[in-house]
Amino acid sequence: MDISTKTTAPPAPAEPPAAPLKTTRGATRPGDRIFLGLSRGSGILLLVIMAAIAAFLTYRASLVLSKNDGNFLTTFEWNANNTPPVFGIAVLAFGTVVSSVIAMVIAVPIAVGIALFITHYAPKKIGGAIAYVVDLLAAVPSIVYGLWGALFLVPHLTGFYSWLNDYFGWTHVLEWQGGAPRTLLAVGILLAIMILPIITNVSREVFRQAPLMHQEAALALGATRWEVIRMAVIPFGRSGVISASMLGLGRALGETMAVATVLSPSFEINASLLDPGGGTFAQNIAAKFSEATEQGRDALIASGLVLFVITLVVNGAARAIIARRKEYSGANA
């Protein structure tokens, strides 16, 4: 019968046995464990390095701070090799912050302008060429900037200084007694050129990523090119530009050789940016380190600790600004 032949037909070939769900090695695989270890290790290493730098700076600074005969925060003097040592960071903090702020005020608008031009105005070839030149600017060593600043920029600034004095001298901030223009304003201008590439490059990347769909939305509403940029590109790139500026500011705060070459430091604070007055932390360390005694070096390290803290505060502030606008950032589009 049909039915019996069917029942006696050879059984279907046995399926291969299913892989057991439990294995001897448990739920993790070696690759996962190795990668976890590597990435976790890198993260921890970073924290350890930061902590080690902070601990080193704090320890060496503490050795000399107790001996300081002046006030570390307010004294306008740096005689750290004397016994007892007399030194204070007031002038350095003033000079560092002021020159960096000048650099930011000049560099950020120009960098944003260049970045927008490259990404949204220039024909592709011209934009690429400009981007290449900006990259070159980033590759110039800072001592070369310093030499250019001292030998070319500074001599050519006298005309600009006297122009500022003529028209804005009444503000006192831009008053000029006629000395060599190796002052905080010159340093600020030089630093602006030096931080321009990094701010431009990071801004360029964020502006390039501004989504086309939002630009088209603006266009379709009857926005002009500039209005498209204002509505759909700049807001999208805002947090990126802030990050870029902070990278630039970090470089400006810590810049050493170029500042040391251009600035003629003096341990006083002057209301005018055009007259001598002020130094910077990094420049002061570079200038004093070779002739410093053990104790003098500790004092310089103490000033370095202050620069470290200022940089941390600046970065924290930038992060806070970015976090506050998170809800409106382009990231959750």
Partner 1 sequence: MAKRIDVSGLTAYYGSHKAIEDISMTVEPRSVTAFIGPSGCGKSTFLRTLNRMHEVTPGGRVEGKVLLDDEDLYGTHVDPVAVRRTVGMVFQRPNPFPTMSIFDNVAAGLRLNGSYKKSELGDIVEKSLKGANLWNEVKDRLNKPGSGLSGGQQQRLCIARAIAVEPQVLLMDEPCSALDPISTLAIEDLIGELKERFTIVIVTHNMQQAARVSDRTAFFNLSAVGQPGNLVEIDETERIFSNPSVQATEDYISGRFG
Binding site for partner 1 (CB under 8 A): 211, 213-214, 216-224, 227, 231-232, 235-236, 238, 327-330, 332-333
Shortest CB 33 distance to partner 1, Å: 39
**228 phi and psi angles, rounded to 5 deg:** -60, -45
Token code pair at residue 170: 């009444």
d(CA 315, CA 305): 15
Shortest CB 208 distance to partner 1, Å: 15
Q: Which is nearer to partner 1, 152 or 328 (CB)?
A: 328
Residue 103 amino acid letter: A
288: left (phi over 0), alpha (psi -120 to 50) or beta: alpha
Residue 167: its H or E element: helix 154-168
Shortest CB 215 distance to partner 1, Å: 9
d(CA 82, CA 69): 10
Shortest CB 321 distance to partner 1, Å: 14
Q: Which is nearer to partner 1, 110 or 122 (CB)?
A: 122
Shortest CB 205 distance to partner 1, Å: 18
d(CA 44, CA 47): 5
d(CA 65, CA 48): 25
Q: Which is nearer to partner 1, 90 or 112 (CB)?
A: 112
Q: Which is nearer to partner 1, 27 or 333 (CB)?
A: 333
Q: Which is nearer to partner 1, 140 or 231 (CB)?
A: 231
d(CA 258, CA 148): 9
Instruction: Answer for the pair 257, 143: CB distance below 8 angstroms, yes or no.
Output: yes
Smallest CA-to-CA distance from 124 within 202, 199, 208, 197 is with 208
Q: Which is nearer to partner 1, 172 or 326 (CB)?
A: 326
Reduce the DSSP state of residue 203 to 3 states and report it: helix
Shortest CB 166 distance to partner 1, Å: 39
Reduce the DSSP state of residue 87 to 3 states and report it: strand
Shortest CB 124 distance to partner 1, Å: 8
Q: Where are the beta strands (DSSP E) in the chain?
A: 78-79, 86-87
d(CA 133, CA 188): 22
Shortest CB 227 distance to partner 1, Å: 6
Q: Which is nearer to partner 1, 17 or 222 (CB)?
A: 222
Q: Which is nearer to partner 1, 169 or 235 (CB)?
A: 235
